[in-house]
Structure 1
């Protein structure tokens, strides 16, 4: 019998199903949550992503896991995706292997399931485990993408709409946002330092640039949460800003980029780059 996610009123714990088994049934914790009204369907928009057509900013809050706060045990990540009014638009939860989380930490492979308030999985972000992946300096060394960190974004699941691919850069994080045909849509450049410590309490910003890097069109921000939370937990708060008229698929790929950035730079309790 396939394992399925176990749900409570405040979160969902993802359990990996054995290979070849059916997709797990998805549910969303609904008690006490305020959800954004679902807009009407629009032409060319993947079903369930209509929310993004009316937004120029999303807030993503990672849920605090008490087990992680008091032990070194790594649990699956869970996130609430909201608009600027605090209304929820999606719920995201990680599916990954137990041993992978404990042994490989932020380098682990995962599937991030993104569901709406109708309990429908509308999007999936996948990262294959790549033991060869390295920092930005080595991202395109050797055999193509062998040393690069990357994720695939599907909406709906099974239908790839784009990719986030690490590019070679000296010290600063650098990514390409690609469409389903692997054509470059946007670039992302991060700062030299992504640390948030007692001496560095500013938000960390990753610039979202046009494909030729002549214009900044948005940003991905990791917000400073305060000394106590930064030291005791890797549950972080993020924001993504983009033009209102940006294609919905591209907005969705930027959400995938945020999850990759979170794993690469902010999964440790001290928020140091571990990858």
Structure 2
């Protein structure tokens, strides 16, 4: 008699039960072929379960065309059944780019803000009351690695994952992974997901730095 396969039960709050989150950008062929920027869409995977959540950008077409990666935008995070989970909003900024993560009722959970530093790239992560939670630093050699520290100790990391030669050369269809072994608070994990999206828009979109 064959043993019955066991299904891993996910915690009701995905951000509390997961050990890592993977985010993959979804590109339309029309955008790839014409190079016309469309609204971003992402699949969010938890511990090997693909597409558990979906993220979609809300922004005006003229803003995407004129302002590029600096455009203001809102990201709606929802389940496949269209149940809202989070909202994230990034205002227009020349410098000090930022994103605020909110729950489904619009209550702020925290903000991520890019610090103006040369030559290294730094981000500060704040809670809903403006208190500093983490510092994020981009690797000087490993440009696709963003280390997250609390009080000088590494607690999490965001990495851009290789998408294959064709995708990397001809598209900006990005894949990222957020690992947070040193962070247990689900709210802090949600804010760091916002950091992942801000990093993608700021550094890996067309026109990003």
Matched residues in 2 for 1:70 and 1:53: separation?
39
Contact 1:194 1:265 in 2 (8 A): no
Equivalent residues in 2 for 1:235-274, closer than 5 Å: 235-243=173-181, 245-268=183-206, 274=208
TM-score, scaled relative to structure 1: 0.69
Per the alignment, residue 182 of structure 1 pairs with 130
Matched residues in 1 for 2:154 and 2:10: separation?
29
Q: Which has the higher strand share?
A: 2
Matched residues in 2 for 1:208 and 1:245: separation?
10
Matched residues in 1 for 2:52 and 2:74: separation?
19
Asked if residue 81 in structure 1 is aligned to residue 44 in structure 2, the reply is yes
CA 244–56 in structure 1, closer or farther in 2 if over 3 Å, else same: farther
Aligned residues: 202
Equivalent residues in 2 for 1:73-112, closer than 5 Å: 73-112=36-75
Q: Is there any run of 5+ residues in structure 2 with no aligned partner, and where? A: 1-7
CA RMSD of aligned residues (A): 1.9
Residue 191 of structure 1 and its aligned partner are, at CA, apart by 2.2
Segments of 4+ moved more than 4 angstroms: none
Q: Is there any run of 5+ residues in structure 1 with no aligned partner, and where? A: 1-35, 41-49, 135-147, 196-203
Tell me the secondary structure at the aligned position of residue 49 of structure 2.
Answer: coil
Residue 100 of structure 1 and its aligned partner are, at CA, apart by 0.3
Residue 37 of structure 1 and its aligned partner are, at CA, apart by 5.7
Residue 188 of structure 1 and its aligned partner are, at CA, apart by 0.4
Residue 39 of structure 1 and its aligned partner are, at CA, apart by 2.9
Per the alignment, residue 4 of structure 2 pairs with none
TM-score, scaled relative to structure 2: 0.90
Q: Which has the higher helix share?
A: 2
Asked if residue 39 in structure 1 is aligned to residue 11 in structure 2, the reply is yes
Matched residues in 2 for 1:117 and 1:72: separation?
28
Asked if residue 57 in structure 1 is aligned to residue 20 in structure 2, the reply is yes
